[in-house]
Chains A and B, each alone.
Chain A
Amino acid sequence: MTGIPHLIRTQDNSFFFDAAAAGRLEIQRCVTCGALRHPPGPACPACRSFAWDTVVSSRLGTLHSWTVLHHPKDDAFTYPLGVALVDLEEGTRFVADMSGFDLDALEIGMEVEIGFGEHAHGEILPRVFPRGAAEGVATEAGGAQ
């Protein structure tokens, strides 16, 4: 049984989870000043506007930092588990688990790509893949590959 808490969906963040389930990575954008922000929140920390929309991320980025987890283990994952802190091209950062990497060869600055996959409780959420190897990404028709 997994110990991972269920997602806490709010009016501020549901867009993100809905987009991820459809294979898109979306970033919140202030309508007033244009600043991007992640994680989502109700107001823009730069100009305090409550007006926001979203942009679809290129899903391309580099490793800002990373860890490989060994212990304790949760049933939702197999270990050792790589987890990445990604600098997205758009300028925001994003955390997700890693798939398809040689965990002994991880380096800060390595080029990566965000895809999607099933996580605890059946949620489809972002996952970090080697550049060019992302899975679960939406096609132009809107569905996930």
Chain B
Amino acid sequence: MSGFARQTAIAGIGATDFSKDSGRSEWQLACEATLAALQDAQIGVEEVDGFALFTMETNPEIAVARALGIPELKFFSRIPHGGGGACAPVQQAALAVSSGVADVVVVYRAFNERSGHRFGAGPPPFAYTANTDQEYRNWINPYGLLTPAQQEAFLARRYMHEYGATSEDFGRISVLSRKHAAKNPKAWFYERPITLEDHQNSRMIADPMRLLDCCQESDGGVALVIVSAERARDLPHPPAIIAGAAQGVGPQQISMSSYYRDDIDAMPEVELVARQLWAQAGIRPDDVDAAILYDAFTPMVLLQLEEYGFCGRGEAPAFIRDGHLELDGRLPINTHGGQLGEGYIHGVNGIAEGVRLIRGTSVNQPGKQLDHVLVTGGSPVPHSAIVLATDH
């Protein structure tokens, strides 16, 4: 067990509304979410002494600290690779707090990615910078692969070919997410479930991926407050203990386009994260009671189910058809409605839902006791994930 495992907890969660046009600055969204999370934790704003973020965040920690009058920051970091790094700031916060570098670390994600710069429309602004970080674009962008959906399509197609998976198998993830979102008043798709037929009738975006395989673009913000487990026990909510937190880069990793590995539909960086999490938390996949799996695009949910060892290679379609992901199933997932249904806040809204599952306050709370909840970041990019645990 790693030194930092189970030493810290997420003690507060906060969010703005999730919309398509927030009507206010991304900076304000970050501040609102941060204040809401601190209010939830009943921790004073002036006590914040650290921020941990991940890239493609437009609000620097010093801007939020300045706007909110936070006098001193002792720890601040930013993990690369966008949504792949979604859970890594929680690891950063856990490391900082457990090592005594900081006491109250806030993680936030806030943007207007629908009313402002649209994420799904094409390369992001930084794509036009000529450096090694963006050089990988030479081998995909000039040939038409410009958006994440387009870049993931090769993997989805290959997975279908290898294992006989179908578009309906991807669609079942979308249907499940929208079912959960339909009961979540905070979700953009509240009271708007879909059928598998709706999924099959949705227009093709990047064959085999249809519109309803793709998550939304959202405006909104979410924040988390991480403190020591000891302190969290004195705060109002049951602590969501950080039992594991890991990052991973696999062999011949390229952002969104690791097309040159033997098996392009395998994600060794995800398996690497899984292996670390189980060792840190002292658990096995069978001990995970529920999961929030990063669902920017449905095929990645199937691949993650396999890489995390919830089912065997190529078995995800049958695992899903057998109902294991339903609320009364072996592994309920994405109970907030996922990014397909609730909102696309780059996975941080999923971390907040993981905390609610541990607290027992999800609008779609499974009936069984939840001791361990897995929350994952994006793929196929450098990956991150956490295991949240009930305090015993």
Report the bound CA distance from A81 to B144 in whole Å. Answer: 8
Report the bound CA distance from A85 to B130 in whole Å. Answer: 25
Q: Which residues of A contact B140 (CB under 8 A)?
A: 95
A65 close to B (CB within 8 Å): yes
Closest partner residue, chain A, to B139 (CB atom): A39
Q: Which residues 103-156 in B have Cβ within 8 Å of A in the complex? A: 120-123, 127-128, 130-132, 134-147, 150, 153-155
Interface residues on B, range: 35 or more
Report the bound CA distance from A77 to B144 in whole Å. Answer: 8
Using an 8 Å CB-CB cutoff, how does the interface string of B179-218 with A read, 1 for contact, 0 for none?
0000000000000000000000001111110000000000
Report the bound CA distance from A41 to B300 in whole Å. Answer: 28
Q: Are B157 and A93 in contact (CB under 8 A)?
A: no
Q: Check A95/B143 contact, CB under 8 A, given A5-B127, A8-B135.
A: yes
Closest partner residue, chain A, to B210 (CB atom): A70
B319 close to A (CB within 8 Å): no
Using an 8 Å CB-CB cutoff, how does the interface string of A91-125 with B read, 1 for contact, 0 for none?
01101110000000000100000000001100101
Q: Which residues of A contact B138 (CB under 8 A)?
A: 7-8, 13, 39
Q: Are A66 and B154 in contact (CB under 8 A)?
A: yes
Chain A contact surface mostly: loop
Q: Which residues of B contact A74 (CB under 8 A)?
A: 122, 144, 146
Q: Are A72 and B147 in contact (CB under 8 A)?
A: yes
Q: Are B147 and A70 in contact (CB under 8 A)?
A: no
Most buried by A among B146, B150, B257: B146
Partner of B139, one of A66, A76, A95: A95
A67 close to B (CB within 8 Å): yes
Q: Which residues of B contact A64 (CB under 8 A)?
A: 154, 158, 264
Report the bound CA distance from A45 to B205 in whole Å. Answer: 35
Report the bound CA distance from A91 to B356 in whole Å. Answer: 49
Q: Are A65 and B157 in contact (CB under 8 A)?
A: yes
Q: Which residues of A contact B154 (CB under 8 A)?
A: 64-67, 85
Partner of B130, one of A3, A8, A39: A8
Q: Which residues of A contact B75 (CB under 8 A)?
A: none
Report the bound CA distance from A119 to B138 in whole Å. Answer: 12
Q: Are B139 and A3 in contact (CB under 8 A)?
A: no
A69 close to B (CB within 8 Å): yes
Report the bound CA distance from A112 to B312 in whole Å. Answer: 33
Closest partner residue, chain B, to A94 (CB atom): B139
B161 close to A (CB within 8 Å): yes
Partner of A65, one of B137, B146, B158: B158
CB distance from B186 to the nearest CB of A (A): 28
Q: Are A65 and B143 in contact (CB under 8 A)?
A: no
CB distance from B314 to the nearest CB of A (A): 16
Q: Which residues 58-87 in A have Cβ within 8 Å of B in the complex? A: 64-72, 74, 76-77, 81, 83, 85
Report the bound CA distance from A5 to B4 in whole Å. Answer: 42
A38 close to B (CB within 8 Å): yes
Q: Which residues of A contact B208 (CB under 8 A)?
A: 67
Closest partner residue, chain A, to B260 (CB atom): A93
Q: Are B144 and A85 in contact (CB under 8 A)?
A: no
Partner of A125, one of B143, B145, B206, B260: B143
Q: Check A108/B158 contact, CB under 8 A, given A8-B131, A39-B260.
A: yes
CB distance from A19 to the nearest CB of B (A): 14
Q: Check A71/B205 contact, CB under 8 A, given A39-B139, A66-B154.
A: yes
Q: Which residues 1-60 in A have Cβ within 8 Å of B in the complex? A: 3-8, 10, 13, 38-39, 45
Most buried by B among A76, A92, A95: A95
Q: Which residues 149-173 in B have Cβ within 8 Å of A in the complex? A: 150, 153-155, 157-158, 161
Q: Which residues of A contact B204 (CB under 8 A)?
A: 68, 70-71
Partner of B157, one of A66, A70, A77: A66
Q: Are B259 and A67 in contact (CB under 8 A)?
A: no
Q: Are A3 and B122 in contact (CB under 8 A)?
A: yes
**A13-B135, A39-B136, A95-B139 given. 7 additional CB < 8 A pairs?**
A8-B134, A45-B252, A64-B158, A65-B259, A95-B257, A108-B158, A120-B142
11 inter-chain pairs at a CB distance below 8 angstroms, sorted by A residue, are: A3-B123, A4-B123, A64-B154, A66-B154, A69-B144, A72-B120, A72-B147, A83-B150, A85-B264, A93-B260, A108-B161
| B residues apposed to A, CB below 8 Å | 120-123, 127-128, 130-132, 134-147, 150, 153-155, 157-158, 161, 203-208, 252, 254, 257, 259-260, 264
> Which 3 residue pairs are nearest across A and B when measured between Cβ atoms?
A67-B153, A65-B154, A68-B207
